[in-house]
Chains A and B, each alone.
Chain A
Amino acid sequence: MALTLLGVSLLIFAMIRSVPGTVVEQLLGQAAIASPEVLAAFRRFFGLDRPAHVQYLEWVASVLRGDFGVSWLSGRPVLALFLERVPVSAELAVLAVAWSLLIGIPLGTASAVWRGGVRDGAIRVVATLGLSLPAFWQGTVLILLFSIYLGWMPSLEWVPFTRHPAANLLTMALPTLTLGTATAATITRMARSTMLDTLGREYVRTARAKGLPERRVTFHHALRNALIPVVTVAGVQLGYIVGGIVVVEDVFTLPGVGRLLLDAIFQRDYPVVQGVILLLAAAFMVLNLVVDLFYAVLDPRLRRG
């Protein structure tokens, strides 16, 4: 993981340095072209006149000290800006995964139990539809329906949970629904697939042969084992949700990390772009690691291995 993180940092560094015309020229625009002295001064100021490998090593050293640079526009540390926005994005991600588990596991289990029937077919179609919905369009339709036509959510302005829990959850309802739909669909499909696999196992047949009621066989014996890969998928999805957050926060104008990144991109605030992408990629990798560890906790066979 350390090697991959090193590669990730190298890639992000190289990406930002490959901005056409150099970052300073992008920032200064015509002023830089008109005055080479101004350009040289700014390059010196930002340390861009030094060799690339020196710049990279200095940047990595700063990052390891917790210094992700300073926003060119606000003058504030990137880490502080990121941490300010994290609660919104983290809440959205957790709510989306919770919602998708709440929907996906029962639907997937029911679909497996009703295998081959009309209800199974309907659930599979709905799950495929859920995977095909573009989140930005789904969010737009939900705003149109619930905020504009029905007027149930007239204000989409985000308020912290600690200040007004009910208003916070109301504001987060539509973004959660939007962000969690594709994950719910993935979990439904995964739950169905693993339940079908588990229901065909010998120990399930043995449980049935012992005369246990079907409900007990399904929920006590099969579902508990089928849930292990489902939980893993949910964890992996939490990582992928990190990417989806950028789009959903834009649709619902939520003041999260995604909005911070997009604003920085459009304002060419490259230290913020660089820092936020690195932090999000690191979060994604840590989440994957936690999922792997959690998988071992859930499945004792892996611990013995």
Chain B
Amino acid sequence: MRSSIPVSAVADSGTAAAPNRSLARGPLFAGACVALLVVVAVGLFAGLLAPFSPTAIDAAHVFQGPSPRHPFGTDRFGRDLLSRVVFGVRVSLGIASASIAVALVVGGGLGLLAGLGRGADQVLGRVMDVFLAFPPVLLAIGIAAVLGAGGGTAVVAIAVVYAPLFFRVVRASVLAESAQAYVEAARALGLGRLAILVSHILPNVVSPIVVQTAVCLSYGILIESALSYLGLGVQPPTPSWGTILNEGKEFLAQAPWVSLFPGAAIMLAVLAFNVIGDGLRDALDPRSAVG
């Protein structure tokens, strides 16, 4: 499992920069956007696109290889894998999006608070250090072990893992912006702290948050899949990509297609988010561009 977090992903990001025009011209970025749109559309219209019910058992067609009727083959219960992978988009992307949204709101909110108040900064900083002291996957596994396997558990686990990263990014950005002359000017004009935060600081810290969100979404998909693969996330018969892989690992020699297609779907979605994250970072925060 990839558990790495690029240094740039947690690096202090600075002020909003003018969008880089090369972003719009990059074929890789455009391709990633199209791929992501396709994946999201597949998830939204899964009911229309999937040829079969993802949980419909067909004992007469167990472990069928890819064929025109079942392009991704069938599993040990004769369920159509294409339909399970298609419905898996909803589960995997849904859990990743929900958990990163929670992490963004909680971590980002606390980061704003810490960036403004010295006392809050000290306390919250220490608390976040504790969470960051865990390897991300290990923390997610630990939380899943305590709460019990399930989709809700995966959301909580991923949110807890990534909220401290949003905290760091937002806090660092708010601190950097607070030292700017325009904030000093707003203060001199008699604006309150909340007004300065909402009207002046917040619009200028959006860029690093957007970059961080794109990067974290890819990690969210990977951790959700890893938890489900280990049996700690979404439980069968609900089709998450990780769950389908988990079901296929016992029959690798007999029916490799059960493991191959959901894994490829995970890779495609993660790749799309990674490329988009890189593109956004290059465009919005050139100083921390890595690639």
Contacts and interface: CB of A to CB of B under 8 A. Distances in A.
Contacts of A284: 133-135, 138
Nearest to B256: A144
Given A189-B291, A244-B3, A250-B230, A137 B267 contact: yes
B252 A20 contact: no
B2 A131 contact: yes
Contact of A20 (B127, B131, B148, B278): B148
A7 B274 contact: no
Contacts of A246: 1, 137-138, 141, 230
B222 interface: yes
A181 B138 CA distance: 19
B226 interface: yes
B7 A248 contact: no
Given A124-B291, A247-B229, A137 B259 contact: yes
Main secondary structure of the interface of B (DSSP, over half): helix
A73 interface: no
Given A15-B146, A190-B7, A7 B260 contact: no
B5 interface: yes
Nearest to A134: B266
B288 to A, nearest CB: 9
B226 A183 contact: no
Contacts of B266: 134, 137
Interface residues of B, number: 57
A137 B263 contact: yes
B136 A243 contact: yes
Given A136-B229, A140-B249, A190-B290, A244 B270 contact: no
A8, A137, A192, A246, most chain B CB atoms within 10 A: A137
Interface in A183-228: 183, 186, 189-190, 192-193
Given A190-B290, A244-B1, A265-B232, A136 B245 contact: yes
B2 A182 contact: yes
B231 A8 contact: no
Interface in B1-54: 1-7, 28
Interface stretch (A58-66, A165-173, A273-281): A273-281
A262 to B, nearest CB: 6
A265 to B, nearest CB: 4
Interface in B126-171: 126-127, 129-131, 133-139, 141-143, 145-148
Given A132-B271, A244-B137, A284-B134, 19 more contacts: A8-B133, A12-B142, A133-B2, A134-B270, A135-B1, A136-B225, A137-B267, A144-B260, A189-B290, A237-B4, A240-B4, A241-B3, A243-B1, A243-B141, A247-B229, A250-B229, A273-B142, A277-B138, A281-B138
